Amino acid sequence: MGSHSSSAHGENYINCEKGLWSWLTTIDHKRIGIMYMIAVMFFFFVGGVMALLLRLELFAPNATAGVGQVLKNGDAYNQVLTYHGAIMVFMVIVPGIPAILGNFFLPIHLGAKDMAFPKINLLSWYVFMAGALLAVATFFLSKIDTGWTFYTPYSIRTGTSVVVMVVAAFIMGMSSILTGLNMIVTVHKLRAPGMTMHRMPLFVWAMYSTAILQLLATPVLGITLMLLAAEKIFGVGIFDPALGGDPVLFQHFFWFYSHPAVYIMILPAMGVISEIITAFSRKVIFGYTAIAYSSLGIAAVSFFVWGHHMFVSGQSELAGIMFSFITMLVGVPTAIKMFNWVATIYKGSVSFDSPMLFALGFLFLFAIGGVTGIMLATLPIDVHFHDTYFVVAHFHYVMVGGTLMALMGGFYYWFPKMFGKNFNEALARLSFVFIFIGFNVTFFPQFILGAMGMPRRYFDYIPNYEQLNKVSTVGSWLILIGFLIGLYAIVQGIRKGSKAVANPWGAKTLEWQTASPPPQFNFDVEPVVTAGPYEYR
Amino acid sequence: MMWFNIAKAQSFMPTQGTEIAKQVDNLYGFLLITSFIACVLVIGGMIYFVLKYKRKSDNDKTAYISHSTALEFLWSFIPLVIFLAVFAWGWYIYHGMRTMPKDALEINVLGKQWAWEVEYKNGYKAVNEIVVPVNTDVKLLLTSQDVIHSFFIPSFRIKQDAVPGRYTALWFRAEKLGEFHAFCAEYCGTTHSGMIGKVRVVTREEFDKYMEEGQEEGQLPLAKRGEKLFALKACASCHAVDNPAAKVGPSLFQVFGHEVVLADGSKVNADENYIRESILQPNAKVVKGFPQGVMPTFQGQINENELNALIEYVKSLK
């Protein structure tokens, strides 16, 4: 591959080839990242509209006619709930940062020309799209109503297209495995000269830990979903108590994947935050090794905590106690990261550009998500909070507040690099303000609703819960406004933004040492690395 | 302990109906306070630092502090100690929560889509209502006839899944008279949110009286027995009885003796035989506008006497 001083002629990965076909057949990791971006944004829009519908339905108890009856009955609500969860988990948050930002920046961060397996990289996009479209297709067959967790025996008994949906999730899982595999090999084999493991940016460490999880955990989900499909088609009797199966076994299998998956969602976010905090404080990150190894630590321990989803499922008391204990241990590396980020700001030179605002928003929301996580890990407290709105609030704080804040922050951070254009900073900040306030208005009341005892997945509720649900629904509109402003800022930036310089933020990692947007093979001259990634002196 | 009370007042927990609830709230109060302090330290520290070290010029000199072993050890060790203390405290409470008392009053609770069927030792059955004497150990034996449900009494801070094919149990000792909600917390389909029972805590005398009345159920008039059975079999989840509005299934209000239009356009007179057939083979003649295959068959689940009582009840819905 010998395109050398291509950027000197103003040629970059966007304009080096033209036409839709050149995008659909590209093996350039940057273009694939952009293709993921378009897909994920579309699914985020669909999942978001469903969230708004759910909140609208819950604006008032059903007894009050009108607003409380947006979805015409419990079935419609349960279906929208299921699609909202499945789309947001499998098509937005799990692929989000790894597939968009990871694809785009991991090779550049390493000083590589591309991923280790560029064609497998393209294949994973097609596999992902095939799975995602199949999942969406079930919406036109018979809408499934199992919740994104597919708990048995409900999923076996319900007459809806569960089999198609689990096949779709299985296919998307394969895409996730391929991406993970590709990233691990890229990290091990394609680092530029001088780029030792301990000189890799923390974003790469986070992606690396994530990739290990994707590779090891996703097959378990695949097998579980295939067993569920076999159960539905052939009546094997693994999960269905009517056939002598054990319905709780499904939960064990399911969470053995899905708990590590929670970290597949959050570790990449932590990587993005590490990059932003250090760049906008202009200061070397505090505790590089602690952050890098705590990612691996979280990844390792996350395999042994699945049972904390099942404290009241009828699993043994001893199991509950063990899982509670191990879950407490995950809190430690997570706390370490929080302290490291705050310590990085200490004696720095902090600017409040929009990426930094999103990163600070992340720290704020993740602190709340984290402490409520400890509450849920505490056995007798979880017995009360399990399957209530407290849990809903907690995981939205961690997964949406955490991952989405990081995705938005990372997106604005790298926007000039990705598109070679500047976005409107005022709009980006305004979008942050709406999203941040809206998010807290929507989800904080749900902690209280949960403490008051309102169970989750409720189509309707008793009047005690009305006021807080109203507040929560109003919050969801603020989030909507925030995202619409953000979308406008992005589209306007891409179309009309002024030309970006190579290193607008004065950051140190490798992607800022090449042109904006990067040339087709990332660097005109292969970089040689002589120091750590954050040498701000 | 004043701090605890403040935290508890802020915590919005429902009425404390049991001793366990008080213990749970104490631990929760402690966690609320420590969490609040932790958040103030982290978020407050963050806000303080970003304001104090706000960028002044484009070439600010920043400190080069890459790590501090002592600091890093401290902030790993202190959370670890707190987490383990919380774990141990939680374990202690959980132990009390899960150790079933020996001479408890045992009540069977069967979860089904979408009601709780309650059966006492003397054979008395009720639906969506558990009556228990105050200050008495009560043990609920839970199971489900279809999907997983979860029995949740917020005021008692207890919850346990009802799993088909096995028995699970929970216990409580109610210390306050009154009525408390019992929700289904595990998603179970269409009217999951409507699966609400109540726990009525009464005096010992009232409880004994309630049991006696329950025993006399055999002497109730036929239609009354049908009404009870209608609730017990959760028919009311899908069929309205006091107005013509359709729920999941057609309303039974003023249906008996009238003509019913079926899905294929034909008509049938809603007489005793049609009602009987609709209970035992629900999909044989489905009313126009309602989907096939929704109602489960009750074949083998009710006897002839019960069928008579149900039909008599439908007749009485005028």
With residue B269 as reference, give the H or E element that holds it: strand B267-269
Q: Does B269 touch chain A (CB under 8 A)?
A: no
pLDDT reported for residue A5: 44
The mean predicted confidence, pLDDT, of chain A is 92
Task: Give the separation between CA A78 and CA A72, rounded to whole angstroms.
Answer: 11
Mean local confidence (pLDDT), B26-52: 94
Residue A367: closest C-alpha in chain B: B39
Q: Is the pLDDT of residue B2 over 80?
A: no
Q: Is the pLDDT of residue A4 over 70?
A: no
d(CA A288, nearest CA chain B) in Å: 7
pLDDT reported for residue A1: 37
Task: Give the separation between CA A237 and CA A222, rounded to whole angstroms.
Answer: 18
| Strands of B137-144's sheet in order across | B125-127, B115-119, B105-112, B137-144, B168-173
Using the beta-carbon criterion (under 8 Å), do A368 and B24 form an inter-chain contact? Answer: no
In degrees, rounded to 5, the angle at the alpha carbon of residue A487 between the alpha carbons of residues A48 and A266 is 60
**What percent of chain A is predicted at pLDDT more than 90?**
78
Of the candidates A362, A357, A351, the residue with the CA atom closest to the CA atom of residue A279: A351
- For residue B61, the chain A residues in CB contact (below 8 A) are 349
Using the beta-carbon criterion (under 8 Å), do A282 and B45 form an inter-chain contact? Answer: no
User: In which band, very low, low, confident or very high, does the pLDDT at A74 lie, cut at 50, 70 and 90?
Assistant: confident
- For residue A378, the chain B residues in CB contact (below 8 A) are 27, 31, 86-87, 89-90
More confident position, B13 or A486 = A486
DSSP-based three-state secondary structure for A51: helix
List, for residues B211-248, the tens digit of each pLDDT value. 888 776 667 788 888 888 888 888 888 888 888 877 78
Q: Does B8 touch chain A (CB under 8 A)?
A: no
List, for residues A137-193, the tens digit of each pLDDT value. 898 888 899 999 999 899 988 877 889 999 999 999 999 999 999 999 999 999 999
- For residue A246, the chain B residues in CB contact (below 8 A) are 165
Task: Give the separation between CA B270 and CA A431, rounded to whole angstroms.
Answer: 61
Torsion of CA B255, B261, B266, B270, to 10 degrees: -10
d(CA B180, nearest CA chain A) in Å: 11
d(CA A188, nearest CA chain B) in Å: 25
The mean predicted confidence, pLDDT, of chain B is 88
The terminus-to-terminus CA distance of chain B in angstroms comes to: 60
List, for residues B77-88, the tens digit of each pLDDT value. 999 999 999 999
Measured between CB atoms, which of A153, A348, A386 is closest to B147? A153
More confident position, A72 or B100 = B100
Q: Does B159 touch chain A (CB under 8 A)?
A: yes
Task: Give the separation between CA A502 and CA A517, rounded to whole angstroms.
Answer: 8
Residue A97 contacts by C-beta under 8 Å, 6 or more apart in sequence? A268, A269, A271, A272, A403, A406, A407, A410
Task: Give the separation between CA A365 and CA A367, rounded to whole angstroms.
Answer: 5
Mean local confidence (pLDDT), A474-494: 95
List, for residues B101-113, the tens digit of each pLDDT value. 999 999 999 999 8
d(CA A349, nearest CA chain B) in Å: 5
Q: Is the pLDDT of residue A84 over 70?
A: yes
d(CA B87, nearest CA chain A) in Å: 6
ipTM above 0.85, yes or no: yes
User: In which band, very low, low, confident or very high, does the pLDDT at A210 lie, cut at 50, 70 and 90?
Assistant: very high
Residue numbers of B between 207 and 246 with CB closer than 8 Å to A: none
pLDDT reported for residue A26: 94
Mean local confidence (pLDDT), B199-212: 93
List, for residues A318-361, the tens digit of each pLDDT value. 999 999 999 999 889 999 999 999 999 999 999 999 999 999 99
Mean local confidence (pLDDT), B173-190: 94
Q: Is the pLDDT of residue A64 over 60?
A: no
For the four alpha carbons of A97, A99, A104 and A107, in that order, the dihedral sign comes to positive
User: In which band, very low, low, confident or very high, does the pLDDT at A61 lie, cut at 50, 70 and 90?
Assistant: confident
| Most confidently modeled range among A156-160, B273-277, B300-304 | B273-277
Mutant choice from A162, A308, A387 vs B, greatest count of B C-beta within 10 A: A387
d(CA B99, nearest CA chain A) in Å: 10
Residue B309 contacts by C-beta under 8 Å, 6 or more apart in sequence? B222, B223, B225, B226, B229
Measured between CB atoms, which of A74, A154, A284 is closest to B191? A74
Question: Token pair of B204, please?
Answer: 């010992």
Task: Give the separation between CA B38 and CA A313, rounded to whole angstroms.
Answer: 31
> CA A299: distance to chain centroid?
15
Measured between CB atoms, which of A338, A342, A378 is closest to B27? A378
List, for residues B109-147, the tens digit of each pLDDT value. 999 988 999 999 887 888 899 999 999 999 999 999 899
User: In which band, very low, low, confident or very high, does the pLDDT at B1 lie, cut at 50, 70 and 90?
Assistant: very low
Q: Is the pLDDT of residue B38 over 80?
A: yes
E strand residue ranges, B58-192: 105-112, 115-119, 125-127, 129-133, 137-144, 149-153, 158-162, 168-173, 178-184
pLDDT reported for residue A69: 65
Using the beta-carbon criterion (under 8 Å), do A367 and B79 form an inter-chain contact? Answer: no
d(CA A527, nearest CA chain B) in Å: 24
Q: Does B164 touch chain A (CB under 8 A)?
A: yes
pLDDT reported for residue B230: 87
Using the beta-carbon criterion (under 8 Å), do B65 and A248 form an inter-chain contact? Answer: no
Contact A176, A95 (CB under 8 A): yes
pLDDT reported for residue A6: 46
User: In which band, very low, low, confident or very high, does the pLDDT at B285 lie, cut at 50, 70 and 90?
Assistant: confident
- For residue B56, the chain A residues in CB contact (below 8 A) are 349
Peptide bond before residue A255 is cis, with ω within 30 degrees of 0: no
Of the candidates A467, A434, A370, A359, the residue with the CA atom closest to the CA atom of residue A59: A467
